Amino acid sequence: MADLKFGNVTPAVGNIKLGSNNVSEIYQGATKLWPLATPDLYDNDTQTGPTVNSIVEQRLSPVGQSGQYAFFNANIGSIVVPPGGGDITFFQYLDNSTMPSITDGYFNEGRIRVYYNSSRFGSTAADVNWTQGNQGGTWSPDGSANQKEQTVSLPQGTYYLKLSYFAEKPIPPGPAYQVRFNTGVSV
C-alpha cells in the first residue's frame, strides 16, 4: 500500500494546493498515494448493513482463583479494502473498571487472521500473532490506556476476519473477581 507523507505526517485533505486550488488526489501511475480511503468494516460476512469503525469482543474471565482461563476464537466480520489499499488495526486491552483493586492479568496469546475466503481456511492475507513474550507480558488492567495494537496494510480486496485469544486471570485480592478481556479490530 502506498502513502504520501511529508516528514512523518500524512497531510489532511485541503492542506495540499496547486496554485490556490485544493489538490483532491495524488497518484503514482495507477496507485493512489493520497488520500487513502478507509476500508469498509462489517460485523458480518455478507458485507451488508451499515459499516462500523470497530468490532470489539468482550469476555469476562471465569470466576475463581488464578489458573482460570478465558479463551475466545470467533469469526467476527469482513472488510472491503478500496483501490489503493487500506489499514486495519488489531487491538487488545484489559478492563477492570468495575473492580479497580484487581491485580494484573495476562493475555497469553492474541491473534488476528485475515483470510481471502469466508470459510477462513487456507492461506491468509495477514496474520498478527502476539504472545506473552512479544507483546509486553503482564498487562495492568487500566482499560484502553494500556491497549496493545498493531496495524496491518492490505491491498484492494474483500477479506474475512478471525480473532482469538487465550488469557489468564490472576489471583484476586479477595472474593472472586473477574477481568474483562477486550480484543478487536478497527479501521
Contact indicator for 66, 169 with CB cutoff of 8 Å: yes
113 and 130 co-located in one domain: yes
25 and 46 co-located in one domain: no
143 and 90 co-located in one domain: yes
Q: Report whether pLDDT(28) > 60.
A: yes
Query: Grid coordinates in use for 112?
Result: 488476528
Residue 117 or 94, more confident: 117
d(CA 161, CA 115): 6
10 and 55 co-located in one domain: no
Look at 26-35, 122-131, 170-179 and tell me which has the smallest mean pLDDT. Answer: 170-179
43 and 116 co-located in one domain: yes
117 and 137 co-located in one domain: yes
Per-residue pLDDT reduced to its tens digit, 59-108: 666 555 555 556 667 888 999 998 878 889 888 776 655 455 555 555 56
21 and 59 co-located in one domain: no
81 and 108 co-located in one domain: yes
CA dihedral 39, 45, 50, 53 (to 10 degrees): -40
How do beta strands 124-131 and 180-186 pair? unpaired
Q: Report whether pLDDT(126) > 70.
A: yes
Q: What is the mean pLDDT of residues 128-133?
A: 73
Q: What is the mean pLDDT of residues 2-22?
A: 73
DSSP 86: E
150 and 79 co-located in one domain: yes
The total of structural domains in the chain comes to 2
Contact indicator for 152, 20 with CB cutoff of 8 Å: no
24 and 88 co-located in one domain: no
DSSP 177: -
Domain that holds residue 19: 1-36
Per-residue pLDDT reduced to its tens digit, 139-187: 555 555 566 778 888 989 999 999 877 666 655 554 455 666 777 899 8
Contact indicator for 139, 151 with CB cutoff of 8 Å: no
58 and 22 co-located in one domain: no
Q: What integer pLDDT is reported at residue 182 of this predicted model? A: 76
